[in-house]
Amino acid sequence: MPGLTRVVTRSVRRVRRNGDHGGVAALVAVLLASGTLLGVTAFSVDLGTMYSERAQLISGANAAAMVMAQNCGRAGAVCFSGDSRTRAQTAANTNAFDGAMSVDQVCGRSFTTSQQVACAPPAGFGTHCTNAVRAGTNFIEVYAGTRTPDGANILPPSFAGSFLPGYSGGHLQACSRVVWGIPAGPYAAFGYSSCEFGNIVNRSGGKPRTAMPAPWPNPIAGILDTVLKLEGQPTRDDNCGDLGYLDPDTGCQINQLNRGADLDGLSDRNPSNPPNVPNLAACRQLLNSLMPPQATNPRPYLLIPIYDVAHPNRNPTDVTYRDVLGIAAFQVTGYKLDDTNYVSWRTGVSRSTFCGGGTNLHSRCLRGYFVSANIIDGTWPKQNWNDNYGLSVFHTDG
């Protein structure tokens, strides 16, 4: 009987629904009476607070580590104390909602300044920086920790302490590591002596390397051009030469370079009849891409290898530039690489003095000024470079 079947089915379903009625309410009442639901809610609130605090600590540690690494990257800087640590504390505080964060530990090593501070085991909850440091790399680690507006270093519980006797909060901590050093290539196929580099920088108003101007478009107003003349042929080992043209890998650039390398190149042995710069078209293209205000290169300056000694070889124009020490940044404002053409971004530059006093048809030179540049673009620095010539690349490493 189909009709009877439908009636029975509906009746059974109605009985089941009525049987569940009030079950959820009873369960909630039991959980509330036992404190379980309130406890879970309290811990959820505290867990959210901890996640928020943790995010602030990571942001503060990253900012503090980057500030300190840039300070350490300067020649003659004091890395791990004094003004550097004060700057790190300020950077950390600005990343906290309440303007307060502790800098629990600063450690690392700097080949540039010959300083090293061992990293002690972390003391707070949630610390990272667990991956190994790359060998031969400058690095700094900053451990940022909880600090409340009243100066305490414990993150107090919001509700959990009411349900867990004896729990009064904890000190949260986050670590950030920044590594820095010489940027990877390609480098310009021009080398410059460390001796002459020091002379030029020291002549720049008596200012140390840390006061070199920033690259275009923000140079120091009124800064004068430096003329880098193509290196004259040394008669012996010469540790205070001028500009040398290096044998390029491609175009006008050297793709890879290690500290201490010896580089072959050519010199301007006979000023009345010098060799033309090889790869002239490639060099023009490179230099034009760096010259303001048409610069299209993301790094608008030459990466110039700094060598220690120029040594003459058998060929009158053949030179070995020995012991590359570092890399400097040179903002190009003009160049003359052949007998007939010279290019200058500056106005009012005289053809007769373009390459300095005594400029003649055969003179070869670059014009511009050395700059201090920090590169923060996610690239890794080269390993095992010690000397700093005002140019560093920085990378966050956890």
Interatomic CA distance for residues 275 and 189, integer angstroms: 16
pTM for this entry: 0.78
Closest CA to 337 of 193, 189, 201, 200: 189
Alpha helix ranges (H) inside the chain: 2-20, 23-34, 36-72, 83-93, 160-163, 194-203, 280-290
8 Å CB contact between 332 and 287:
yes
- d(Cα 296, Cα 28) in Å, to the nearest integer? 67
Q: Where are the domains of the chain?
A: 34-179, 187-378
Of 393, 243, 398, 388, give the one whose Cα is nearest residue 327: 388
Query: How far is residue 219 from each of residues 41, 196, 303, measured CA to CA in Å?
Result: 57, 22, 17
pLDDT of res. 5: 43
CA distance 376 to 73: 13
- Residue 217 is predicted with a pLDDT of 57
**Would you call 249 exposed, middle or buried from its count of C-beta atoms within 10 A (0-12, 13-18, 19+)?**
middle
The segments of the chain whose pLDDT lies below 50 read 1-16, 27-28, 30-35, 37, 159, 161-162, 205-209
Q: What is the pLDDT of residue 13?
A: 47
- Integer Cα distance of 155 and 151 in angstroms: 11
The tokens 């108003």 sit on which residue? 205
